[in-house]
Amino acid sequence: MNLSIAAGAVPSRETEDALMDWTYSNPVRIEFGADSFDKLPGLIGKRAYALVTYGEPVFDELERRLRAAAGPSVLTIRDVAPNPDYRLLTEQAARFAGLASQPEVIVAIGGGSVIDSAKVFAAAGGDFATVKTYLETQQGAERLAAIPIIAVPTTAGTGSEVTCWGTVWDEASGKKYSLARPSLYPTHAVIDPRLMLGKPQLLTISTGLDALSHALESIWNVNNNPVSANHAVAAARSILDVLPKLANDLGNLELRSRMAQAALFAGLAFSNTKTAIAHSLSYPITLRHGVQHGIACSFSLPMVLRSVKGAGGLCEDSLKQIFGADLARAADDLEDFMARLGISCNPAAYRIERAEWHALIADSLEGERGRNFLGSKERLIEAAQTLRMPSSVSA
């Protein structure tokens, strides 16, 4: 079809989308559905595998099931901690070095910390120092290993099963890094909502809000595109509907399935855009104040939504598909949504004073994720000024 626009004509939203230059790629094969965990042994096949998981009874049972069908792992890492840190990752990676040969595949069963840790091990090949050098200098990529990964998420939120990066923390230095390599896309993501049935309410809410942040962050993003936007809109609409119901009905497999699918769509959206300002803000909040990641990256979403009102283009069009035409009211509604889940959108609730909050915003805009934000610094600061915050927080 020959598409032309008359001189002086104002292009329609559909025409603007058609004229965009964009790319989208995701190589992960997805196995989705209740009891899809049973497909895992077939995906491993006869390969020697390492298992990365948690040392808790429910994961012990999953390990037992896997071992019975696929044989024993050549190495099992069970001591994964939240926010994988230099110190522990160094010691864990060294266990791979003690093997006669490296595993042919790494199987990660757990939440985002497990999958991110598996990505570190896949790149380290037994020597975390090579990963550390790459993270700090962006040099030495040719020395990184590339062991295939099969990801089996047991929470609905992080999206790590369909991305090629993992978050690595250096808590001693107060820094956070992103290990990003195309080879770190898992070959397969096995998403079994039945594995998520036992998760407690706060974890369910936190990971669900992480997924909501992934969706929205991929929309107000300089890297957004029509495919990522479609995934993001579907994810956000579903999360806004499902998460409050699921928080009050944790054993409902249908709701778990819908939430898992929404989190997957959010992962597919930000797998091509990365995140933006809300995540950039979240990292120092987690490091300094110990706020759980899913909360730290989501409580600022209404503020950011207020700041992008009037942004136009694919961003505003997508947001209106989620929230309706009145985005000013939508920000208030999103605050109410968070409040119903027990989450405050005021930084003071997390012991962040006004001066620190404004400094965090300024610093976060300069970071890699902050530079992905398509909104303006002025509008964001204006939105931040509307928050009622004390100048200091009492003990």
Mean of per-residue pLDDT scores for the chain: 93
pLDDT of 353 higher than 60: yes
Residue 367: predicted pLDDT: 85
d(CA 98, CA 102): 9
β-bridge partners, 31: 190
| pLDDT confidence tier of residue 14, bands split at 50, 70 and 90 | low
Cα–Cα distance, 154 to 8 (Å, whole number): 53
Q: What pLDDT is recorded for position 266?
A: 98
What would the pLDDT profile of 109-145 be if each residue is shown by its tens digit? Answer: 999 999 999 999 999 999 999 999 999 999 999 999 9
Convert the pLDDT of each residue in 199-211 to its tens digit: 999 999 999 999 9
pLDDT tens, position by position, 153-185: 999 999 999 999 999 999 999 999 999 999 999
Tokens of 362: 């300024």
Separation CA 385–CA 124 (nearest Å): 44
- Percentage of the chain beyond pLDDT 70 is 93
Query: Per-residue pLDDT for 333 more than 70?
Result: yes
Structure tokens at 247: 């928080």
Average of per-residue pLDDT across 146-158: 97
Q: In sequence order, what are the residues at sequence separation of 6 or more whose Cβ sits closer than 8 angstroms to the Cβ of residue 69?
A: 38, 40, 41
In angstroms, the first-to-last Cα distance of the chain is 67
pLDDT (0 to 100) of residue 137: 96
Element of type H or E holding 191: strand 188-191
If we measure between CA atoms, which residue out of 65, 71, 79, 67 comes closest to residue 113? 79
* Residue range 267-289: mean pLDDT, rounded: 96
Question: The tokens 């400094």 sit on which residue?
Answer: 359
Do 256 and 197 contact (CB within 8 A), yes or no? yes
Sign for the pseudo-dihedral over CA of 201, 207, 212, 213: positive
The more confidently predicted of residues 2 and 23 is 23
Q: How far are the Cα atoms of 8, 215, 245, 279 from residue 238, in angstroms, in the given order?
A: 40, 11, 11, 21
* Residues present in the chain in total: 395
